[in-house]
Chain A
Amino acid sequence: MNAVNTDIARIVERINRVILGKERQVRLCLACLLARGHLLIEDLPGVGKTTLAHALARSLGLDYQRIQFTSDLLPADILGAAIYDRESGGLRFHPGPIFAQVILADEINRASPKAQSALLEAMEEGQVSIEGETRPLPTPFFVIATQNPSEQVGVFPLPESQIDRFLMRLSLGYPGPAAERELLAGEDRRDLLADLEPALAPSAFAAMQAQARTVTVSDALLDYLQAIIEASRRNASFAGGLSPRGGLALKHAAQAWAYLGGRRFVLPEDVQAILPGVVAHRLHPAPAVGAADDSWAARILLQVPVP
């Protein structure tokens, strides 16, 4: 465990050098990736979403591609296409940017639903089918998507069925005064990113992911998870409860969070720590409740008694 702890500490430390004052969000991002989940970062432009995604990919020692989503982006721009090859005289497949371990899908809600779904299918299946041929994606494979709040103009909000495929949705928020000061006084973040060296060997992260899945989830904790899922389905404030996938997401994320804490078993506190990020994009207020903020669903579910 100690080796893992130092690894994780190193990763966190490296990322924190670039993203100032957001240690908790960084750890949550790591937990999300450790749980083999895709991450959605939603925030205003310019708070460091893209930088965070870059930093994560680089420090984990994974190869990564960035796709800037625009309204005219086509599925082939993501997946790749078979192009006639003059030399061999046949069609040769040119893989798209999706064939990388970390995909940074920037401003995902600017693209048309068609392009969005090309990405989202790949996210769920771990493979892509192009022109009748199924091609596996590399492992680990995950998508860090960023999006602007949907109130902004020129966006296509992700459909609910697709947004469910992201394990967590996080937002960064403005930096604190000290971080802000350092940001203003310090170097350019881009330069720092370029200097960022991988903290892990390429295969190490996959091993960590596998270990995180073995963290013990006791019966008592399953009781707690079930109570939370039950509460989300029964509470009249929600338009719909957590899906089974949402429940599994809670469990995996909590395991990863415990693993990050260097523990071999999951505590209710682990569930509570990851709960806001996991449920915020999955639960919607019932019409009678009206509009609600990001932490609203978590506030309700954190009232569920710990068995």
Chain B
Amino acid sequence: MARPERHALWLVVPVALAMLPHALYVPAWVSLAAALALVWRLSPAWLKEGGAQRAARLLLAPAAVLAVLLQFRTLAGPEAGIALLVLAVALKLLESDGRRDHAIAVLAGYFLAVATLIHHQEIAAAAWLLVTTAVLTAALAAGQAAQPPAPAAALRLGAVLVAQALPLAVLLFLLFPRLAAPLGGLVHSETGRSGLSDSMAPGSVSRLILSDAVAMRVDFADPAVDARGLYWRGPVLAEFDGLTWRRGEPRPAPPPATPVGGRLDYTVTLEASGQPWLPVAGLAEDMALPSARLSGDMEWRTRLPDHGRLRYTVTAWRDYRLEPQLSPYRRAQVLALPAGRHPQAHALARQWAEQSASPRAIVERALAHFRQEPFHYTLNPPVLGDDTVDDFLFRSRRGFCEHYAGAFTVLMRAAGVPARVITGYQGGERNPIGGYWIVRDRDAHAWAEVWLEGAGWRRVDPTAAVAPERVELGLDAALPAAERPLLDLPPAWQLRLRQGWDWLDNGWNQWVLGYDQQRQRRLLGALSPRLASLDGMLWATLAGTALILAGLALSILHVRRDRPAGATERLYARFLARLARVGLVKGAAEGPVAFAARAARDRPDLAGPVRAITALYVALRYGDATRPEHLRQALAGFRPGRPPRRAKRGKVIVD
């Protein structure tokens, strides 16, 4: 026999809520099928279904499995697994009626809700999960009642239960030994962002510039550091084919480097980028990240390019001398240019080489050239001809950092000065609330390094010669006014809001998502060295759990003490609850008989049972009666319904 319609609502709505986030990435047909199943479950047709429909339902289950198999070619893995789970729960609802089914369906809903974490771990996802859990818990309670309670009451119960569970959740989060990889390595990180790439052609950096996404956040040990003066070194591009700059052939060992001065200690939180590059400012003396490796060109990269959010602490020197000696082979590599290309650039470079006394003077000459000739810094450079370097240098003269860095390096090499292109980030924005720096994709930058005898590799930023504002004040200041709207700068209050949110988000990333084995050990170790051990954590978890449960039990007992304890009081409380459901609420200071009189006045149809039950109750509670059986019996048949329609009464009078 089908249970009341409200039970069906308590089944379908919470489960739908748990399914909703999955609709973001499961194939559309899965969402559609699940939605159809839920609607079918709610429709009156479901209640009077015949055998044919039951058979159809039996066929749907294998069909769903088959469809998932066809779509994903597998049933394993998070993607296929979630699709299968969504379909299975939706189908399960179709055959869910009694209490037991209800409980099973809601438990499946919990599982669906937790599965959200595989794809989303942001604050919003956590908040959503909390709400969904409360609603599911309310549904679990509502499904067990013969008559579902009012939604508000059930939701309040769900919220209270979840709130009671929260201390335990926090305790387990803090103390339970962390696994090396959360959720057994199932967790996916968004990898839609494109970070620094290992090649550079005109236009590749400026595409990044239009993205406002956070590339990394940097927390400096010394809060006075102005990150806008720092260059975050990424891939080193030494090979040029006339159009595209690429990383050179890998070298076995990092070159010798000596610190000169200026300590620079910071912690970088790098967002997932799908790229192995770990941007670093200065000469890193120590890099606290086990998977980090240093390449032969002094690039830091991680062995695991498909990383999620990464945190690494760097101990660095701001000034340093890199590779003071250059072997002839290396020298040839960083002087190589494609044969027969860029004749005009070659000619100009040769002229500079002849007129200058030293490589240093050639560099100065080149920078002066960029400064003096009518070069423009723009995000919208005109389309370049076949020879991009010559076309840029001698015709368009409008370009972006990659044009300047590329062309400058070509000129240097043509003049016999070893040079290469570096890409990375430059600039950033300080979050005044958190005191850390945010480096976004739009701070992506390209510059050059030239090798000078005795000095090693020196950074030269030709963009700074054209548009010093870009380096000093950031991208927005450097662009012509007409191009700024491209970047869509928000008004000040929005900026504050964004900074506040970023601060929250960063804290969440650092302390909740970033709470890994290492952090846990460090945090607990700071409290007590014993806690840092596995045994210590387990014992602390057990002890803390016991404490929290004892506290909850005490508080519940305390609350209970104020509540009616005996059978009579409980029965009367039930009576009051039933009357409250039809809008008759007893005032706290109202006596039972006075309330009965009022209820009888408001609902004459209930007057008889209300008076009778009240009389039984007062005799038990205030009189000498001792056996609550009669009250129990009287109450068992008491189910106040909605008041009779007013219209009927009106009709009688009119007639």
A residues contacting B by CB (< 8 A) are 216, 218, 220-221, 264-269, 272, 302-306
In the complex, the answer to whether B593 meets A218 with C-beta atoms within 8 Å is no
In the complex, the answer to whether A303 meets B592 with C-beta atoms within 8 Å is no
The interface residues of chain A lying within 8 Å CB-to-CB of B292 are: none
A254 to chain B, nearest CB (A): 11
The CA of A208 and the CA of B385, in the complex, are separated in Å by: 120
B396 to chain A, nearest CB (A): 84
The CA of A265 and the CA of B618, in the complex, are separated in Å by: 9
The CA of A62 and the CA of B651, in the complex, are separated in Å by: 59
In the complex, the answer to whether B621 meets A218 with C-beta atoms within 8 Å is yes
The CA of A268 and the CA of B622, in the complex, are separated in Å by: 9
The CA of A221 and the CA of B623, in the complex, are separated in Å by: 10
Of residues 608 through 655 on chain B, the ones whose CB sits less than 8 Å from some CB of chain A are 618-619, 621-624
User: Of B185-193, B548-556, B583-591, which binds chain A?
Assistant: B583-591
A220-B622, A267-B592 known; 15 new pairs, CB 8 Å cut-off, are A218-B621, A221-B622, A265-B618, A265-B623, A267-B618, A268-B592, A268-B622, A269-B591, A269-B592, A269-B593, A272-B591, A272-B594, A306-B588, A306-B591, A306-B592
The interface residues of chain A lying within 8 Å CB-to-CB of B593 are: 267, 269
The interface residues of chain A lying within 8 Å CB-to-CB of B623 are: 216, 218, 264-265
The interface residues of chain B lying within 8 Å CB-to-CB of A267 are: 591-593, 618, 622
B276 to chain A, nearest CB (A): 68
The CA of A216 and the CA of B622, in the complex, are separated in Å by: 8
In the complex, the answer to whether A306 meets B589 with C-beta atoms within 8 Å is yes
Q: Which 10 pairs across A and B sit closest by C-beta, in order of nearness?
A: A265-B623, A268-B591, A305-B588, A269-B591, A218-B622, A265-B622, A220-B621, A269-B593, A303-B589, A269-B594
Which listed residue (B590, B592, B594, B624) contacts A264, Cβ 8 A? B624
Q: Which residue of B lies closest to A306 (CB)?
A: B591
The interface residues of chain A lying within 8 Å CB-to-CB of B618 are: 265, 267
The CA of A268 and the CA of B596, in the complex, are separated in Å by: 13
Size bracket, chain B contacts: 10 to 19
> Interface on chain A toward B: helix, strand, loop, or mixed SS?
loop
In the complex, the answer to whether A305 meets B592 with C-beta atoms within 8 Å is no
Most buried by A among B591, B593, B594, B619: B591
The CA of A268 and the CA of B621, in the complex, are separated in Å by: 11
Most buried by B among A216, A220, A264: A220
The CA of A65 and the CA of B588, in the complex, are separated in Å by: 46
The interface residues of chain A lying within 8 Å CB-to-CB of B591 are: 267-269, 272, 306
The interface residues of chain B lying within 8 Å CB-to-CB of A266 are: 622
A37 to chain B, nearest CB (A): 22
13 contacts between A and B (CB under 8 A): A216-B624, A218-B621, A220-B622, A265-B618, A268-B591, A268-B592, A268-B622, A269-B591, A272-B591, A305-B588, A305-B589, A306-B588, A306-B591
The interface residues of chain B lying within 8 Å CB-to-CB of A221 are: 622
The CA of A156 and the CA of B619, in the complex, are separated in Å by: 47
B228 to chain A, nearest CB (A): 61
The interface residues of chain A lying within 8 Å CB-to-CB of B619 are: 265
B589 to chain A, nearest CB (A): 5
The interface residues of chain B lying within 8 Å CB-to-CB of A269 are: 591-594
The interface residues of chain B lying within 8 Å CB-to-CB of A302 are: 589
The interface residues of chain B lying within 8 Å CB-to-CB of A304 are: 589
The CA of A66 and the CA of B64, in the complex, are separated in Å by: 99
A257 to chain B, nearest CB (A): 12
B585 to chain A, nearest CB (A): 13
Q: Which residue of B lies closest to A301 (CB)?
A: B589
The interface residues of chain B lying within 8 Å CB-to-CB of A303 are: 589
The interface residues of chain A lying within 8 Å CB-to-CB of B588 are: 305-306
The interface residues of chain B lying within 8 Å CB-to-CB of A268 are: 591-592, 622
The CA of A280 and the CA of B622, in the complex, are separated in Å by: 26
The interface residues of chain B lying within 8 Å CB-to-CB of A265 are: 618-619, 622-624
The interface residues of chain A lying within 8 Å CB-to-CB of B592 are: 267-269, 306
Of residues 35 through 56 on chain B, the ones whose CB sits less than 8 Å from some CB of chain A are none
B15 to chain A, nearest CB (A): 40
The CA of A159 and the CA of B588, in the complex, are separated in Å by: 36
B560 to chain A, nearest CB (A): 14
A241 to chain B, nearest CB (A): 18
The interface residues of chain B lying within 8 Å CB-to-CB of A220 are: 621-622
Q: Which residue of A lies closest to B619 (CB)?
A: A265
The CA of A216 and the CA of B619, in the complex, are separated in Å by: 11
The CA of A306 and the CA of B589, in the complex, are separated in Å by: 5
The CA of A272 and the CA of B587, in the complex, are separated in Å by: 14
B548 to chain A, nearest CB (A): 31
A300 to chain B, nearest CB (A): 11
The CA of A269 and the CA of B589, in the complex, are separated in Å by: 10
A304 to chain B, nearest CB (A): 6
B208 to chain A, nearest CB (A): 67
Of residues 566 through 593 on chain B, the ones whose CB sits less than 8 Å from some CB of chain A are 588-593
The interface residues of chain B lying within 8 Å CB-to-CB of A264 are: 623-624
In the complex, the answer to whether B622 meets A306 with C-beta atoms within 8 Å is no
The interface residues of chain B lying within 8 Å CB-to-CB of A306 are: 588-592
The interface residues of chain A lying within 8 Å CB-to-CB of B594 are: 269, 272
The interface residues of chain A lying within 8 Å CB-to-CB of B624 are: 216, 264-265
Most buried by A among B592, B621, B622: B622
A34 to chain B, nearest CB (A): 19
B559 to chain A, nearest CB (A): 15
B610 to chain A, nearest CB (A): 15
Q: Which residue of B lies closest to A269 (CB)?
A: B591
The contact string, 1 if C-beta is below 8 Å from chain A, for chain B 587-608, is: 0111111100000000000000
The interface residues of chain B lying within 8 Å CB-to-CB of A272 are: 591, 594
Q: Which residue of B lies closest to A217 (CB)?
A: B622
The interface residues of chain A lying within 8 Å CB-to-CB of B622 are: 216, 218, 220-221, 265-268
The interface residues of chain B lying within 8 Å CB-to-CB of A218 are: 621-623
The contact string, 1 if C-beta is below 8 Å from chain A, for chain B 315-338, is: 000000000000000000000000
The CA of A303 and the CA of B587, in the complex, are separated in Å by: 9
The CA of A4 and the CA of B592, in the complex, are separated in Å by: 25
The CA of A305 and the CA of B576, in the complex, are separated in Å by: 15
The interface residues of chain A lying within 8 Å CB-to-CB of B621 are: 218, 220
Q: Which residue of B lies closest to A272 (CB)?
A: B591
B625 to chain A, nearest CB (A): 9
Q: Which residue of B lies closest to A258 (CB)?
A: B622
The contact string, 1 if C-beta is below 8 Å from chain A, for chain B 188-205, is: 000000000000000000
A263 to chain B, nearest CB (A): 8
B308 to chain A, nearest CB (A): 55
A250 to chain B, nearest CB (A): 14
The CA of A220 and the CA of B617, in the complex, are separated in Å by: 12
The CA of A218 and the CA of B620, in the complex, are separated in Å by: 10
Q: Which residue of B lies closest to A264 (CB)?
A: B623
The CA of A266 and the CA of B623, in the complex, are separated in Å by: 7
B81 to chain A, nearest CB (A): 54
B554 to chain A, nearest CB (A): 22
